[in-house]
Amino acid sequence: MNIETVKVLLIVISGVCWTIVYIDGIRVGFRDKSYAIPFYALALNLAWEGPYTYHGFRINGVDTQNVFNAVWLTFDIGILYTYFRFGRKYFGGRLFNPPANAGGTNKLFIGWSVLALITAFAIQYAVSREFGVSKGAAYSAFPQNLVMSILFIAMLAKRGSREGQSLLIAVSKWIGTLAPTILFGVIGQGGFPRGSFLILTIGLCCSVFDVIYIWLVAKTKPAHVVR
């Protein structure tokens, strides 16, 4: 098997695994009346997938990675819908959630969420402008993936059950991140023809937290049992 075949195989593994994450995220979101991706990570994902899908098709045309980017963007919009439909109940705590102020809290929830989305898009724009499209895509994707890995654990701890989460999501997220870690960190791809020690380090840190999350999800009771 030559190196180019290995690269395509890693792209496909990552693409399929992340697609499974998003599809199952939508499924469990509606099942549990919840959302499956931590919101700040979801905001960064949308801000990454939108511009880089556009740039990918504009620069490279139709290739495997760009097709997966477009698929991910489509399903992430579905997860964003579950967030706005079901996420209000997780917002605010006592600071923003006095019982007599439900209407005002809803406005705060929407306003805060929109602000987070705008911030995510601003950050992604700044990264691509600073480093260019090719390197910017990787320099933003891996750190935000690490943030997501940590936020998944925080979300599980806060909810106290598998509400809006599943073992399939946890395992697929891990494999879907490990494949591009090998591709960009070891083999070399895109703006990193000889690999990247920084990406490899961040990717391995993702794996550490992802494996911890898998273990925690496996030992946590399903949402219907807790209820």
Confidence at 61, pLDDT banded by 50, 70, 90:
confident
- Of all residues in the chain, the percent with pLDDT exceeding 90 is 82
Instruction: Tell me the backbone φ, ψ of residue 192, rounded to 5 degrees.
Output: -130, 70
Give the residue from 109, 215, 220, 108 showing the smallest Cα distance to 164: 220
Yes or no: say if 28 and 138 are a contact pair by the CB < 8 Å rule: no
Confidence at 46, pLDDT banded by 50, 70, 90:
very high
**Average pLDDT of the residues in 151-155:** 97
pTM: 0.90
Confidence at 190, pLDDT banded by 50, 70, 90:
confident
CA distance 61 to 41: 27
The pLDDT of residue 157 is above 60: yes
Least confident segment among 24-33, 50-59, 61-70, 215-224: 215-224
pLDDT given for residue 60 in this prediction: 83
pLDDT given for residue 204 in this prediction: 98
Yes or no: say if 191 and 132 are a contact pair by the CB < 8 Å rule: yes
Convert the pLDDT of each residue in 73-114 to its tens digit.
999 999 999 999 999 999 876 555 555 445 557 889 999 999
- Of all residues in the chain, the percent with pLDDT exceeding 70 is 92
The pLDDT of residue 178 is above 80: yes
Distances (CA, A) of 131 to 37, 125, 140, 144: 27, 10, 10, 16
pLDDT given for residue 120 in this prediction: 97
pLDDT given for residue 225 in this prediction: 53
3-state secondary structure 109-128: HHHHHHHHHHHHHHHHHHHH
**Average pLDDT of the residues in 156-177:** 96
